[in-house]
Amino acid sequence: LLAAMSWDDTAAAMMAAIDEVLPRAAPDHYDCLVVGAGFAGAVMAERLAADGGKRVLVIDKRPHIAGNAFDVEDAAGILIHQYGPHIFHTNSAEVFDYLSRFTGWRPYEHRVLAEVRGQQVPIPINRTTLNALFDAGLETDDDAARFLSARAEPVADIRTSEDVVVAAVGQELYRLFFRGYTRKQWGLDPSELDKGVTARVPTRTNTDDRYFADTFQAMPRNGYTAMFAAMLDHPNITVRLATDFASIKNDVSYDLLVFTGPVDEYFEQRYGPLPYRSLRFEHRTLPVEQHQRVAVVNYPDEAVPYTRVTEYKHLTGQTSAVTSVTYEYPAADGDPYYPIPRPENHALFKRYEALTLAEPNVVFVGRLATYRYYNMDQVVGQALATYRRLKARGQEALLA
């Protein structure tokens, strides 16, 4: 028989025979296995280890910690965000104080320009935007409010991402700033997306040109990856990178599983795949000190294939004779970056959520595992609340 088999088959048959004869080594035991080293996984691991006194194994299939917030020095020595710009902002003192245990901060308020009709103007739309585009001579908040209400088109039942913008600023501004950008970013028309997507971007009648209005706005002083390293630096935490859950499932045992990957993947897509939107990031270093006036310039024009360009030195304050930028190209396939908020996807998620509730000793945390378009601070808040619930429940096997 062996003579008829290829070398590969022969080796596999021999390994199978050895496996049968030798007793398997006992799997490594941990109190908790955390799948994913992004915000959700790192906060859960830190709390379980430092507050709960548990032995925790954290794995990530990527070769680094920090999930999508991962930052790293590129070949030119510029700190870039490998998965696109991550700007920290929150209204939660609890979240800010918690993260402040692991990092100092660099004060930073985010400003974004949108390129429309050949000009770069502030987005969110504010009074400066209106004056620049329409030469409107608006001098006060009231002037701008009147200008906008003359354009706004009442929508009886605001449900979609089109409704919410048209009701605030009317068709012309909607088309200039939102329709093309959204179609590119999501591969869907705004009328096919929940209102919450474009409602993330407000409209202003004053001249505040900050992208966010939150109480706390800052960047981790030495970057996100350094902050994550500090969170995970605990004697009870072991980190294994480049390790997929599927590949170690049978080699480790644990009392509690914290899963932060895509929820449909966990259940082997029993009800079919949950849709996620992906991006392709093109990182470039340019031989100039500064490429653009602000950290991010948006390109709502559908004829431009990318959605936005980020120049990192604005975020970090780094100085250099060169500069590094990232172009974001939306994509249907690739890593799952965004859950896609629309009713049919929510309904499908609800079916998966019912499975998660029936799964013993597993908690699902984070943007992919709970299928929510969450910012970093919301994921931190969700993880802290999840840990608190576990602790309050005081399950003997988990967190006695």
- Cis before residue 124, ω within 30 degrees of 0? yes
Query: Cβ atoms within 10 A of the Cβ of 54, count?
Result: 20
d(Cα 59, Cα 377) in Å, to the nearest integer?
22
Interface with ligand UDP includes 371 (CB under 6 A)? no
Tell me: does residue 197 bind ligand UDP (CB under 6 A): yes
Question: Using CB under 6 A as the criterion, what x/- string covers residues 200-239 for binding ligand UDP?
Answer: xx--------------------------------------
Cα separation, 25 vs 42, in Å, equals 29
Residue number with CB closer to ligand UDP (275 or 300): 300
Q: Are the beta carbons of 234 and 49 closer than 8 angstroms?
A: yes
Beta sheet of 105-107, edge-to-edge order: 88-90, 216-220, 105-107
CB 123 within 8 A of CB 308: no
Residues numbered 86 to 105 that lie near ligand FAD (CB under 6 A) are 86-87
Residue type for position 79: L
Among 30, 147, 177, 254, binds ligand UDP (CB under 6 A): 177
Shortest Cβ 100–ligand UDP spacing (Å): 23
**198 interacts with ligand UDP by CB under 6 A:** yes
Q: What DSSP line would sit under 290-333, residue for residue?
A: -SSSSSEEE---TTSS-SEEEETHHHH----SSEEEEEEEEESS
- Of 27-35, 96-104, 181-189, 385-393, which segment contacts ligand UDP by CB under 6 A? 181-189
Q: Which of residues 120-139 bind ligand UDP (CB under 6 A)?
A: 123
Residue 166 within binding range of ligand UDP, rule CB under 6 A: no
68 lines the binding site for ligand UDP (CB under 6 A): no
Residues in contact with ligand FAD, shown as a per-residue x/- string from 17 to 56 under the rule CB under 6 A: ------------------xxxxxxx---------------
The separation between the first and the last C-alpha atoms of the chain, rounded to the nearest angstrom, is 56
121 binds ligand FAD, rule: CB under 6 A: no
Cα separation, 219 vs 310, whole angstroms: 15
Which listed residue (31, 60, 71, 311) binds ligand FAD by CB under 6 A? 60
- Of 20, 15, 66, give the one whose Cα is nearest residue 260: 66
Question: Among ligand FAD, ligand UDP, none, what binds residue 316 when CB lies within 5 to 8 Å by partner kind?
Answer: none
Q: Cβ contacts of residue 20 below 8 Å, gap of 6+?
A: none
Total Cβ atoms within 10 A of residue 190: 25
Options 143-151, 227-235, 339-347, 367-375: segment touching ligand FAD (CB under 6 A) = 367-375
Q: Is 39 in the site for ligand UDP (CB under 6 A)?
A: no
Options 367, 371, 384, 399; binder of ligand FAD; rule CB under 6 A: 367
Binding range to ligand UDP, per CB under 6 A, among 32-40, 48-56, 177-185, 381-389: 177-185
Question: Scanning the structure block, which residue is given the tokens 């605030």?
Answer: 168
Q: Which residues pair with 116 in a beta bridge?
A: 119
CA angle 162, 166, 167 (to 5 degrees): 115
Site string for ligand FAD, 297-316 (x = CB under 6 A): --------------------
The CA radius of gyration of the chain, in Å to the nearest whole number, is 24
Residues that bind ligand UDP (CB under 6 A): 114, 123, 177-178, 181-182, 185, 197-198, 200-201, 298, 300
Residues that bind ligand FAD (CB under 6 A): 35-41, 59-62, 67-69, 83-87, 244-245, 260-261, 279, 337, 366-368, 374-377, 379
